């Protein structure tokens, strides 16, 4: 290693190229994993069985989680890389004022709320699927299904919810310091 120097600009350029490749590949892979998981749901309920190998609930859940992770991986990597390559590793933290006054932190919170919204919608769809079949320990009602679906959509569309609330004089994004 003696005599070798590391050019930070080349390292960052290489990182940017790899990051863009990751962005391009992760979204189709995430969509494929989620579609695969949704397509395998009927085989879990004792529905139509094809010639393919049987699928376990764990495989479907893991495929769905991997798909959601891959869909949000570019955004997560963007936020993380801006944090790491900013002025200091803890650029989320503020030395004075409110922690939520930081735009990056607010963006991370909004991304988290949207991820929870997607998970709630998918859980609501799964509950709707399981509503007709009796299963021990799982009591599914229409109200529970609607609650998860509506709450999930509202959490995913937090920007529209913010616009609706802003009509009454309370801007949630301004409150948490997010400029959008």
141 or 99: whose pLDDT is higher?
141
- Please report the pLDDT score of residue 132 as a whole number: 73
* 158 lies in some domain: yes
State the pLDDT at residue 153: 92
Count Cβ atoms below 10 Å from residue 101 Cβ, excluding itself. Answer: 14
What is the predicted pLDDT for the residue at 174?
73
Instruction: Answer yes or no: is 83 within a domain.
Output: yes
Task: Decide if 3 is inside a domain.
Answer: no
Using CA atoms in the order 125, 49, 59, 129, what is the torsion angle rounded to 10 degrees? 10
Residue bearing the bigger pLDDT, 116 or 18: 116
Q: Looking at the domain assignment, is residue 21 inside a domain?
A: yes
State the chain's mean pLDDT as an integer: 75
Q: What is the DSSP letter of 5?
A: -
Q: In terms of Cα–Cα distance, which of 106, 85, 112, 79 is closest to 94? A: 106
Say if 115 falls within a structural domain: yes
* Per-residue pLDDT tens digits for 115-173: 899 999 999 988 888 887 776 667 788 888 899 999 999 998 888 888 888 888 887 77
Tens-digit pLDDT profile for residues 103-121: 666 777 788 888 899 999 9
- Is 1 among the domain residues? no
Q: Which domain holds residue 124?
A: 8-176
pLDDT at 49: 53
Q: Where is mean pLDDT largest: 18-32, 33-47, 76-90, 146-160?
A: 146-160
CA distances from 37 to 60, 133, 148, 176 (A): 5, 20, 19, 35
Output the pLDDT for position 87: 44
The pLDDT of residue 95 is 44
Per-residue pLDDT at 4: 56
Residue 112 lies in a domain: yes
Residue 157 located in a structural domain: yes
Counting the structural domains of the chain, the total is 1
| Percent of residues, the chain, with pLDDT higher than 90 | 9
Residue 84: its pLDDT value, please?
59
């Amino acid at each position: 290693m003696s005599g070798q120097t590391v050019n930070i600009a080349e390292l960052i350029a290489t990182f940017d190229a790899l990051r863009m490749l990751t962005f391009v590949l992760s979204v189709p892979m995430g969509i494929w994993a989620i579609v695969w998981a949704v397509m395998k749901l009927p085989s879990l309920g004792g529905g139509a069985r094809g010639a393919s190998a049987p699928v376990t609930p764990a495989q479907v859940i893991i495929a769905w989680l991997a798909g959601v992770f891959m869909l949000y991986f570019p955004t997560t990597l963007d936020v993380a890389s801006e944090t790491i390559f900013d002025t200091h590793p803890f650029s989320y933290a503020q030395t004075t004022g409110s922690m939520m006054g930081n735009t990056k932190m607010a963006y991370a919170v909004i991304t988290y709320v949207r991820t929870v919204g997607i998970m709630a919608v998918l859980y609501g769809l799964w509950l709707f699927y399981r509503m007709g079949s009796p299963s021990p320990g799982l009591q599914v009602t229409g109200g529970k299904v609607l609650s998860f679906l509506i709450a999930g959509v509202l959490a995913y569309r937090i920007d529209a919810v913010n616009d609706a609330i802003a009509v009454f004089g309370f801007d949630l994004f301004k409150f948490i310091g997010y400029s959008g």
